[in-house]
Structure 1
Amino acid sequence: MLRTLGRRLLLLGSVGTGAVLANYYDRLDELQYDAASLASPVLRLLDAETSHNVAVWSAAHGLVPRDHKPDPPSLRTMVWGREFRNPIGLAAGFDKDAQAVEGLLGIGFGFVEVGSVTPLPQPGNPQPRVFRLPELKATINRYGFNSQGVDAVASHLAAYRARLDDNPARERGLLGVNLGKNKTSEDAAADYCIGVSKLGQYADYLVINVSSPNTPGLRSLQGRKELEHLVKRVKTMRDSTPWGSRGPPPLLVKIAPDLTEADKSDIAAVALKHNLDGLIVSNTTIARPPEVHDYPCGQEAGGLSGKPLFEPSTKVLSDMYKLTKGKLPIIGCGGVSSGEDAYKKIRAGASLVQLYTGMAYEGPALVPRIKRELAECLARDGLVSVQQAVGADHEGPSQRKASAWRFYWS
């Protein structure tokens, strides 16, 4: 009897200690994110590009919060046979040279996309080239693919992988690599093929970026003839490379929101004909809505991101989901700053969702908040997984179930 009582007291003590530790780590997380939120307005006292560089440096040196809480089970999702612990990712453009992958994943993202990476180093466009529109929670940038080049990025990613190999127990987020072309290159396909050959071994997926408005002539590669030629060459390069037991990294194309109906139809046709693995919808826009047009720096050249981009990018996302008949996973990007925004992207057809400008304004605390709100949206509508919600605005329950299983095994 005394032995049984002792065991019960020991069990209660263990449970109590576990609860105390859980509460301690929860409070520690909250304090870290609170501190980061206080730092965000201070960073915005700097010019936009300097603030961006400081944020990347901070993430690279571990000076950002780390999310210790497990994500809600409803947020786990499978795309391309890869399990994402949650569907919220960081878009390309923040960590251009893969200097801060570990720190950024630690914030709580399910995946991080680095780049755009060009084959040769290039400085990008002259400064100033980033402009804040704080009342609109928007930004205009004309960076122009400033990049340290594929060799430097490959070195950074090799070091990151070595750190992971030294700590195999750590849960790993997934990594996308966004590829660009050099400004003066006359053979765009060759540039993208270099990116595939040198960086593909580190990537959970690869992206052909043909939609930045800041590299002359780049968006013309979205035309049907040009895109078909490009995709065929890059896909041939990828498929002819030995990748080991896991197989080749999925290949996606990132498109602009400023497309005609004919453009969208052509892109969908090329994607289906050549078995692309997915699309990213969308990049920044060259359009200037009235509220942006009237803003003091609203007429600066470059791509507009943030809240004003949400509606147009989600409309293009919905159109591409319909045009591809839900056969391709789509990453929804543009103007996401809440769990409800992410949920709308998913219901419009996104399997995964990315953000960038929202975090620039709200700081790292935005990431756990979006995850929490997204889980609440799913529960509110009686859904137990992200996959059940993909394309829900287009399809009936039976079709959604079929789509979920297709993406799971693809």
Structure 2
Amino acid sequence: MPTRVQHAEPTPVRSKRQSIPSQPPSSAPAAAGPGTDWYIVFLRVNLAIRYMLLVWGLILLFDLDVPNPREILEKLAEVVLWWVTLSFLSDSGPVSGVSDPVWRAIALQHRMRSSQNNVTSIIAFARPAFQHSRPATTSSAAADASSLVTRIKNLLYGTSLSLFAVLTYLYITDTRASVHQWLVVPALRYVYPDAEDAHHAGTKALRALYSFGIHPRERNSKVTDSKDADLSVTVFGQKLQNPIGTSAGIDKLAEIPDALMALGPAIVEVGGATPLPQEGNPKPRVFRIPSQNALINRYGLNGLGADDMARRLRERVRLFAYSRGYGVGEDAEQLVLNGGAGVNPGSLTDGKLLLVQVAKNKDTKDEDIEAVKRDYVYCVERLAPYADVLVVNVSSPNTPGLRTLQRVEPLTKILDGVVTAAKSTKRKNAPKVMVKVSPDEDADDQIEGIVEAIWRSGVDGVIVGNTTKRRHGFVPNDIKLSAKERKILDEQGGLSGPHMFERTLGLVKRYRKLLDEGPPPPTNNQTEDSDDQTSSKIAEKVESVKNTITQTVSPTREQKVIFATGGITNGKQALEILNAGASVAQIYTALIYGGVGTVSRIKKEMREEILGSRK
């Protein structure tokens, strides 16, 4: 059988155009082909970081007000450091280690591809194929040097990212940052049209941020030493860092007392707490009047009850004891409450006080004074161990009949029961007791009756002011409200805002004058027990005077402490309130509209006023 001869297939002759590969060789640099888009992304990120670092430097220098020259120098040093970092980054690409000329070539090629279609691709593919045929000339020493440069650039790039994150953290968590007032507050109002929903969202946010340690705070270790030294006051024998406080209602359930203290006030008031949980009034029950920075609320003392608040505060104390190494359980708790940790048992902070407000349940009949007193005493027995000061609320405008308890006889009985229960607190030092009164009870006989009840019961002070039920004259005649705000102004509830200031200021002066006059003389309609109690207190007062150096009576020697709340929005007003006889100026509505930096701003304005008056 003949053998078949196998002929090889002829190899086709390729043209010069076909000799160029249709795809780039695998060894060709990726930067030379269409796959360089990710390099462009890195380049843009690099440039963005440079600009962001520059912006943060300027923001921290100019937005975070730093009156101390040393702080200014520190900020300038930080800005210089950022510029040095920028200078390194300006000569380097991202982590790939590619030099700046190559980055420019890549960017140019990217633009060329946008304007040229197939021709650009052919040229781009041909260049690496041609270059691939060249012999390698790079030495191992050059490769090592390139690797070192790459690592240095990686370090600088990572450092810049870390620095940016740190700067962002420092800015966002500083109460002086204007973003809190001009961005966060409007955003909350936009996202939550209902004011109560916005309040709850803000409370949850602060609680979450505090739990992770990224909450807003009055930053700088010099706050209590140099910045607040000129604002320190003595209240109940304790030196407080400053005379600014937050009113009850901001933290109704005692969820965020520590987060509020971090904002800079020396006084934080939580509550009010009632014996049993109650839902309060139907929603909607909070309304904004934005043009006047005012609020109307008719919450109705909604809350989860005194037992729930006591549980929260007890857990807070035990967590503090554990963090200090005292252990857990009742023994550790009692050690902290007795002052063994060197801090106030309520605030758990030196130079600050925690006020806990108590009230009666809505269903408790006002005519049954004994039942009303039992409500208050129940709250005191649960909450007194965890409070520096107890506040008796008899002035809420949203609980029917509550303000009728401000008459002499019922108020004296209620306050006497609270004082007795507070003194029985199982703690080394019993909490102080204050009563919160209404701004609407402003007739002479009403104020005199409240002052008489204060002296007869033995409470330690009074909080002058609350929201008002009055509308006449609240908004000056020359201010025109929109139809919507006019309608809101007619809503039932307690009204608060800047226009309350003059009324609060006048009430503080009147209460200061009457309290400085001492206990009123006993009247004929007082019971024999009341006479004995008053005489005993007068005798104690006379005895204490004998044991002290004789001095003239002046407004600075306060027999009873006054806190003021209502319409205080700036540092000048706070100083006026203090000069009128109050020891502490509390804020509520100003904080709602001004954001978490309000306390810092008010204290800054107070210092400016003090320094200005000395010139």
TM-score with structure 1 length normalisation? 0.83
Task: State the Cα distance separating 1:372 from its structure 2 match.
Answer: 1.1
Counterpart CA distance in 1 for 2:576 and 2:209 is 32
Are 2:612 and 1:376 equivalent residues in the alignment?
no
Per-residue deviation at 1:273? 2.7
- 1:208-357 equivalences in 2 (<5 Å): 208-244=392-428, 247-259=429-441, 260-290=443-473, 292=475, 295-325=486-516, 326-357=558-589
Deviations 1:295-340 (A, max 9, x none): 2211111111111211112211111011101421101101111111
Larger radius of gyration: 2
- 1-side partners of 2:170 and 2:384: how far apart? 34
Deviations 1:217-242 (A, max 9, x none): 10011011111111111112222333
How far is the alpha carbon of 1:18 from its aligned partner?
12
Deviates more, 1:277-286 or 1:80-89: 80-89
Return 5+ residue gaps in structure 1 as ranges.
1-15, 384-410
Letter in 1 for 2:359: G
Q: C-alpha offsets along residues 193-228 of structure 1, whole Å, 9 cap, x if unaligned?
A: 111111111111000000000001100110111111
Identify which range, 64-73 or 350-359, moves more after superposition.
64-73
Asked whether 1:35 is paired with 2:186, we answer no
| Mapped partners of 1:352, 1:201: distance in 2 | 23
Q: Indicate if the aligned counterparts of 2:424 and 2:430 stay in contact, CA closer than 8 A.
A: no
Structure 1 CA distance for aligned equivalents of residues 299 and 318 of structure 2: 31
Partner of 2:355: 176
User: Could you tell me the TM-score, scaled by structure 2's length?
Assistant: 0.56
Task: Please say if 1:55 is aligned against 2:202.
Answer: yes
Give 3-state SS (helix, strand or coil) of 2:391's partner.
strand
- CA displacement at 1:30 relative to structure 2: 5.0
1:245-279 Cα offsets, whole Å, 9 max, x none, are xx211100000000121110111112123321010
Query: Are the equivalent residues in 1 in contact too, given 2:565–2:585 (CA < 8 A)?
Result: yes
Paired AA for residue 438 in structure 2: A
With over 3 angstroms needed to count, the CA separation of the structure-2 counterparts of 1:116 and 1:22, relative to structure 1, is: farther
Change (3 A) 1:234 1:22: farther
Hey, what does 1:201 align to over in structure 2? Answer: 385
Give the count of matched residue pairs.
366
Question: C-alpha separation between the residues in 2 aligned to 1:291 and 1:227?
Answer: 28
Cα offset, 1:292, TM superposition:
4.4
**1:60–1:101 contact (8 Å) kept in structure 2:** no
**8 A Cα contact 1:131 1:297, kept in partner:** yes
Q: Which has the higher strand share?
A: 1
8 Å Cα contact 1:61/1:103 also seen in 2? no
The CA distance in 1 between the partners of 2:218 and 2:292, in whole Å, is: 28
Residues 237, 306 of structure 1: alpha-carbon distance in 2 compared, 3 angstrom cutoff:
same
Aligned-pair identity (%): 36
Q: Who is 2:216 aligned against?
A: 65
CA distance in 1 between partners of 2:167 and 2:239 (Å): 25
- The unaligned stretches of length 5 or more in structure 2 are 1-69, 79-165, 325-340, 366-370, 517-557
Q: Name the CA distance, whole Å, in 1 between partners of 2:171 and 2:610.
A: 24
Moved more, 175-184 or 25-34: 25-34
Q: Is the 8 A contact 2:277 2:304 kept in 1?
A: yes
1:27 deviates by 9.4
- Equivalent position SS for 1:252: strand
Partner of 2:269, secondary structure, is strand
Greater shift after overlay, 219-228 or 29-38?
Answer: 29-38
Deviation string 1:20-74 (CA, Å, 9 cap, x unpaired) is 4898799965543333221100111211000111111122122641112314201
CA distance in 1, matches of 2:71, 2:505: 46
What SS does the aligned partner of 2:262 have?
A: helix
Residue in structure 1 matched with residue 40 of structure 2 by the alignment? none
Q: Please identify, of 77-86 and 255-264, the stretch whose mean Cα deviation from structure 2 is larger.
A: 77-86
1:92 maps onto 2:248 in alignment = yes
Runs of at least 4 residues off by over 6 Å: 16-19, 21-28
Distance 1:58 1:213 in 2: 29
Q: How much is the aligned-residue C-alpha RMSD, in angstroms?
A: 2.5
Task: Name the CA distance, whole Å, in 2 between partners of 1:301 and 1:115.
Answer: 22
Distance 2:355 2:514 in 1: 24
Q: Distance in 1 between matches of 2:265 and 2:513?
A: 28
CA contact (8 A) 1:284 1:303 kept: yes
Q: C-alpha deviations, 1:82-135, integer Å up to 9, x for none?
A: 332111111001100000111111111112100001111110000010011111
Name the structure 2 match of 1:364: 596
**Which amino acid is the alignment partner of residue 208 of structure 2?**
H
Q: Provide the residue aligned with 1:127 in structure 2.
A: 283
